[in-house]
Amino acid sequence: MTTDLVIGMAGAGGDGVIAAGEALMTAAARSGYRAMMTKSYGPQIRGGESSFHLRIATGEIFNAGTMLDIAVALNWDDFLRFGAELPVGGRTTVVHDGAEGAALPLEGVSPADAVAAPIAEMARTSAGTEKAKNTVVLGLLAGWLGLSADSLLAGVRKRFARKSPEVLAGNERAFAAGLAFAQAHPLRTDRRLCETAPPPSPRWLVDGNEMCAAAALVAGCEFFGGYPITPSSEIMHFLGREIWRHGGTVLQAEDEIAGIGAVIGASFAGRKAMTATSGPGMSLKSEMLGLATIAEVPLVCVNVQRGGPSTGLPTKSEQSDLFQAAFSAHGDAVRPVLAPISVADTCRITIEAFNIAEQFQTPVILLSDADIAQRKEVIDPIDPRAFTIVDRRLPNERELEHYARFQITESGVSPISYPGLEGGNFLASGIEHNERGAPTASGEVHAQMNEKRIRKLAPLKARRDLFSIEGDRDAPIGLVSWGSVAGVASEATAVARREGIQMKLLVPRLLYPISEEVYEDFFASVRAGLVIEQSHQGQLFRIIRMFVDVPRGLESLARSGSNPITVHDVLDRVRQMVVAFQRQRVPQEEPTLG
Amino acid sequence: MAYTPQDYKSELKPIWCPGCGDYGVVQAIYRALATIGRPPHEIAFVSGIGCSSRIPGYTTAYGFNSVHGRALPIAQGIKIARPELLVLVAGGDGDGFSIGGGHVAHAIRRNVDLTYIVMDNQVYGLTKGQLSPTSPRGFRTVSSPEGSLEDPVNPLMYVLGYGGRFVAQGTPADLSGLTQLVVEGLRYPGFAFINVQSPCVTYGSPDAQLKAHKSSMKNLASLGHDEGNRLRAMELAAEYGRSLYTGIFYRDPEPPPAYEALVAERRRALTDPGASRERVLEKFALR
């Protein structure tokens, strides 16, 4: 019996691999398990190979896991194309549709167990079509994992409800055939999942993009303007279905620039507005983001990061747009950059992004990444009433008497009107302007306005709720991680602490501006540590060092996208740090040459 | 309440050179707005960057002097978000047909109810005298000391070609005619385009662009032009650069509903009075 299991499966287009993964995940979630699933596709537009990577566990999980416990290869060519996504190790149980005892095309590894299951043949004989292969696999896994056959079968029935009775009956027989095979061929390594208590209320099944879009609606988003781009488009798709019900509008613009342009227009007109894109789109939106900064127009700009530069790796996750988010503006423009760490966290951080945009009248960049955006998670229900929703500060009657849109106030935030509001008329502009909005080239005014626009964000740095710290408060080893990779760091921290290593982890959701105090407090006890992130340069590591004096032993653990950072990678480095501490205790005597 | 042109004039003093055609354009806009009679706070006036793009600041409307070439997307966002506003867009030929040229076609086909006034001076003034997209072939500037090697964009054909439903041309030399065109553009329920031959006295060739034509300026209405005839409008528009026609080239006699009207219709159909934003997340619950 096991409490934590990683399953990977790959097949050709039409094999229904993704449908099988979703069915497994749903059944597991219904039975009370936690789960996280990522999907990968070949580069073909349609009909190419596809795969899923699914982690199911009895307790909470923070990342999708890596090495497979069970690998299902409907055919080896397709499976091997997903080498990085579906790593097979010596402890993997390999299920394949090949001849008994056939040599596996796996180099350098002999899996613990290889089961030749005649999947295609079972599908043909039971359902009369190889299309039912995925249903056979569901039967197999129901048997081997001990997942509720009823629950899985209910999913199969739901999926084929609209098909003919023959198709449904065929798939029911296919499931039964798979189940019977599994019962007749128990695995050498027991892969049955320990039972878990069903949750008090049904859990949720959702991916990061859907969560971002839904949270935007909770935050009060009334307008979305954007342009299709992988891996962010699902945000526009979701809002295209849902926002109308709440009186809002989606505009698919002619390009990335027009998308954010319309968002700036809608926000200027007093509506909460959002755009979403990925790296190349961010590059195009840069000038508009600068305009929103100087004209003090609230908006949320989501960047679902993928591998770059340029087209880069459109379907793979990376955290390499942090420099761009923080620094792509010309001029002295500081804008808040937030990053969620999971699907559930995407809810809170998206709402925070809107609140910060509205409160401080600034563009906010929400840095999601393809991993979070595209992976489905089983999460606990979220109570939206727990969130405060912030609206922009409108001018009152007294302020409208001699309205100065960009008045230099103590907080730096000036009341903001909108067209239609009598007395609030003003000129918004990308050109520097005085308090009343009149264009100016005065160095004095420019300096005051820069100071105002940057000062107004200062309260953000004191928002300790935009950071989480886990582990031992005074630990000598400190990790920092952000975005989807934070889940790996979190699990590594838990494992290391169980080993007795004194360690802690800081996870910022506010990536920029850098809160010096939060980092300085965290680093106070730290002698060695890691900043863990998915980019070649280690972008957060470098930005922290711009603003904070970090401990000498702080290092970067960073690598390019599509090269996952694992819990083991982190633990290896941490264990080395502990060894180095012991060596430092004793003066190392150098042998003297006689 | 009746409004006078003065009600739309702000305290800001234009930065334009003495004699610039844009003074006439802003006068025409003040007069047209007074004729329409909407209070200034119900008007949004959006521009890009350039000499002429300073124009929103010279009015008392809600203004947005944005970035180069991007006035149209911003204006569309405003109008979709608040359809009750009267939305004007203005800028130069470089703003509209060079750096922002890609947006014009989409503003036309989307047909948001905007009035887009281009002050066409055939040169870049704010950056001190380089070629613009409407500069004539052979035009000598600091960036083309030996003369331009390109044909100019024909703004009228451009908009007509993409299916523009209200296309007009005026000049500040005929202020009452221009005022009337702006009034008609503002009244047209959809995307309306007005090209204004507004010569640059500093870097342009006002003689070639306007003065020489002044005596031979041809008013389309007095020529008996049928403004409901798109093909004839295109024939006349093809004369851009050779003959100076003023007036309405084309006005769709049966304007379709504007984009924001369709949006409003869809909202009415789809808005669910029982839908609660707080409950959006419940969609994700496993059933």
What does the pLDDT look like over B215-274, one tens digit per residue? 778 999 999 999 999 999 999 999 999 999 999 999 999 999 999 999 999 999 999 998
Q: What structural domains and CATH numbers belong to chain A? A: 4-184 (3.40.920.10), 205-386 (3.40.50.970), 393-461 (no CATH), 464-585 (3.40.50.920)
The C-alpha of A455 sits at a distance from chain B's nearest C-alpha, in angstroms, of: 23
Predicted structure pTM score: 0.96
A20 to A34, A465, B251: CA distances (angstroms): 17, 39, 57
Which of B53, B259, B265, B277 has the highest number of chain A CBs within 10 A, making it the mutation to test binding with A? B277
Say how many CA atoms lie within 13 Å of A90 toward its Cβ: 1
pLDDT band for position B1 (50/70/90)?
confident
Q: What structural domains and CATH numbers belong to chain B? A: 5-284 (3.40.50.970)
Q: What is the pLDDT of residues B7-60, one digit of tens each?
A: 999 999 999 999 999 999 999 999 999 999 999 999 999 999 999 999 999 999
Residue with token string 């389309």: B220
Which of A31, A239, A251, A406 has the highest number of chain B CBs within 10 A, making it the mutation to test binding with B? A251
What distance in Å separates the CA atoms of residue B249 and residue B167, rounded to the nearest whole number? 6
- Fill in the amino acid letter for A290: G
3-state secondary structure A41-81: ECCCCCCCCEEEEEEEECCCCCCCCCCCCEEEECCHHHHHC
pLDDT for A588 equals: 65
Over residues B132-138, mean pLDDT? 96
- Return the closest-CA partner of residue A42 out of A13, A73, A71, A16: A13
What distance in Å separates the CA atoms of residue A266 and residue A226, rounded to the nearest whole number? 13
What distance in Å separates the CA atoms of residue A238 and residue A212, rounded to the nearest whole number? 9
Which residues of B are less than 8 Å from A204 in CB distance? Answer: 281, 284-286
Q: What is the pLDDT of residues B176-206, one digit of tens each?
A: 999 999 999 999 999 999 999 999 999 988 8
The reply to whether residue B284 touches residue A214, judged by beta carbons under 8 angstroms, is yes
Q: Which residue of A has its CA nearest to B283?
A: A204
pLDDT for A450 equals: 98
What tokens were used for B13? 């003093």
Q: Which residue of B has its CA nearest to A288?
A: B67
pLDDT for B147 equals: 96
What distance in Å separates the CA atoms of residue B133 and residue B137, rounded to the nearest whole number? 10
Over residues B58-82, mean pLDDT? 98
The reply to whether residue B81 touches residue A222, judged by beta carbons under 8 angstroms, is yes
Name every residue whose Cβ is closer than 8 Å to that of residue A415 and which is 6 or more positions away in sequence: A393, A394, A395, A396, A399, A405, A407
Sequential pLDDT tens for chain A (594 residues): 999 999 999 999 889 999 999 999 999 999 999 999 999 888 777 778 899 999 999 999 999 998 999 999 999 999 999 888 899 999 999 999 988 888 899 988 888 889 999 999 999 999 999 999 999 999 999 999 999 999 999 988 888 888 899 999 999 999 999 999 999 999 999 999 999 988 888 999 999 999 999 999 999 999 999 999 999 999 999 999 999 999 999 999 999 999 999 999 999 999 999 999 999 999 999 999 999 999 999 999 999 999 999 999 998 999 999 999 999 999 999 999 999 999 999 999 999 999 999 999 999 999 999 999 999 999 999 999 999 999 999 999 999 999 999 999 999 999 999 999 999 999 999 999 999 999 999 999 999 999 999 999 999 999 999 999 999 999 999 999 999 999 999 999 999 999 999 999 999 999 999 999 999 999 999 999 999 999 999 999 999 999 999 999 999 999 999 888 999 999 999 999 999 999 887 776 667 775
The reply to whether residue B57 touches residue A384, judged by beta carbons under 8 angstroms, is no
The reply to whether residue A428 touches residue B281, judged by beta carbons under 8 angstroms, is no
Q: Is the ipTM of this structure higher than 0.95?
A: yes
pLDDT for A45 equals: 75
The reply to whether residue A428 touches residue B63, judged by beta carbons under 8 angstroms, is yes
